[in-house]
Amino acid sequence: MRNEGLGSWPARRARKTPHRTALIHQADAFTYAELHERTTRLAHALRAAGVRRGDRVAYLGRNHPAFLETLFAAGLLGAVFVPLNTRLTAPEIAYQLTDSGSRALLHSPELAAVAAVAAESGGARTVVEVGGAAYEELLAGAATAPIDEPVSPDDLCIIMYTSGTTGRPKGAMLTHGNIVWNAVNVLVDHDLVADETALVSAPLFHTGALNMLTLPVLLKGGACVLVESFDPGGTLDLIERHGVTFMFGVPTMFDQVARHPRWATADLSSLRLLNCGGAPVPTPLIATYQERGLTFLQGYGMTEASPGALFLDAEHAVAKAGSAGVPHFFTDVRVVRPDLAQAEVGETGEVLVRGPHVMSGYWGLPAESEAAFVDGWFRTGDAARVDADGYVTIVDRFKDMIISGGENVYPAEVEDALLAHPDVAECAVIGVPDARWGETARAIVVARAGSTPDPASILASLDGRLARYKIPKSLVLAEALPRTATGKLLKHELRSRYGTGQ
């Protein structure tokens, strides 16, 4: 094959294990042979619609086999896949369509209205609704002749927009080689096996669900159970029904599963790998899963690194709890001072990442791309400390750091302490102006169901556990915290809503 990219994966896997199950979605199951045929047919249909090498093909929809069919079909043509966040508004989607210059937009039926508005203003010339009878007719009427467009590892594969928690999202340019090397890191460090069954309930437009779970499992020849939307009770049901061995989620998802009434009695014996990322994993959540004999494989990464950078394996999950681990096998990580000199053991510095899985830059933003790198190292903007054994603990985003009376306060550390309180279900910590200290911490807390928390007593519980300057000076109770579709806190919304002075 001349195609060395992701588009060749269905064909390569079909010639090895054609009859093994690749995808499960509701009552449907597709073998690798069927995935190969459907991908080829879609590629022919897109080519007939005018899609050529280098063109961008966008997808807007919940988890569905068509998402992966579109990804692989674009790869077959040498085109570029652009996954879109389903929670965005039509103007936000239109911005990404315009910014990427997407020629085609495939979307699920429930998002037809949003897709139509976005496509018209975003300039997409071909709009295809997937998942219904018309989509199946489109595939049935397309050719099955092999497509072997030459695609190299250095060719652009995906433009994945960052979550946009601040300002306009930027499109991280991920090559085929970036995605492959990330998948290899997962295969090496997670010890994936050929009969893996992965539950994909985090959205596939999230780099973690796609690149840390789905694609590595498909590369290995396992099966992926695609779930359109996350549900705690449904998660427990699917684990039992399909014998799920591998899951990925952000901490809030795992927390909701653990709070479900069936948590204590559900059969979780098939589970082998629990990969948690997207945000620091609270210590109490780790303990809850350990009580069920389950261990988190924590990690740290970012869209720009496809995304894996650090990994904490099961062997060290208890001894190094709270750490994000050590670099993946084919990854290098440094923690540096502002002058880029290596930070000492225990000293807080910025995380730099380098490896064959790190993006080539931001789409259409040469100045931002250049600023994101220093001597070939990607500057993450995240603060971390390294212990004497080389294990890295992510402290927080530097931009979220609070400077109170000249002391640095990292919200993630305070949030972890607050979550240990029995009345606290969720929390976030932001900085607010203070006439004396310049800035002090404020906690925004979502109470656990059935509790009537007293703000003063919650703050008092931190005394002796955190240095006095780290303890928030105020606490606000909220019904919910604003989050992205992938569970990340929208700190800028919290600051706008709760960030006024005392």
List pLDDT tens digits, range 11-22: 999 999 999 999
Chain centroid to CA 422: 28
Mean residue pLDDT across the chain: 92
| pTM (predicted TM-score) | 0.84
CA angle (388, 390, 394) in 5-degree steps: 105
User: What pLDDT is attached to residue 461?
Assistant: 94
Q: Higher confidence at residue 411 or residue 234?
A: 234
147, 161, 227 from 175: Cα distances, Å: 20, 14, 27
Query: Which alpha helices (H) appear in 191-231, and where do they start and end?
Result: 207, 215-220
Contact 162, 207 (CB under 8 A): no
pLDDT tens digits, one per residue of 482-494: 987 667 788 888 9
DSSP assignment of 258-288, as one string?
HTSTTTTTS--TT--EEEE-SSPPPHHHHHH
Q: Which residues pair with 332 in a beta bridge?
A: 354
Q: How deeply is 75 buried, as exposed, middle or buried, from its count of CB atoms within 10 A (0-12, 13-18, 19+)?
A: buried
CA distance 361 to 290: 39
Across 42-51, 60-69, 432-441, least confident range: 432-441
pLDDT tens digits, one per residue of 165-206: 445 789 999 999 999 999 999 999 999 999 999 999 999 998
CA distance 466 to 458: 13
User: What pLDDT is attached to residue 76?
Assistant: 98
User: What pLDDT is attached to residue 296?
Assistant: 85
> What values do phi and psi take at 462, rounded to 5?
-85, -15
User: What pLDDT is attached to residue 156?
Assistant: 98
pLDDT tens digits, one per residue of 204-217: 998 999 999 999 99
Q: Which residues pair with 393 in a beta bridge?
A: 385
Q: Higher confidence at residue 140 or residue 469?
A: 140
Give all domains of the chain, ordered by start, each with its CATH number: 32-152 (3.40.50.980), 401-498 (3.30.300.30)
pLDDT tens digits, one per residue of 234-265: 999 999 999 999 999 888 889 999 999 999 99
User: Given strand 326-327, what is the order of strands in its sheet?
Assistant: 28-31, 21-25, 223-226, 197-200, 246-249, 273-276, 296-301, 308-312, 326-327
pLDDT at 317 over 70: yes
CA distance 22 to 41: 17
Q: Mean per-residue pLDDT for 444-453?
A: 93
pLDDT at 291 over 70: yes
User: What pLDDT is attached to residue 58?
Assistant: 98
Contact 59, 67 (CB under 8 A): yes
Q: Which residues pair with 102 in a beta bridge?
A: 56
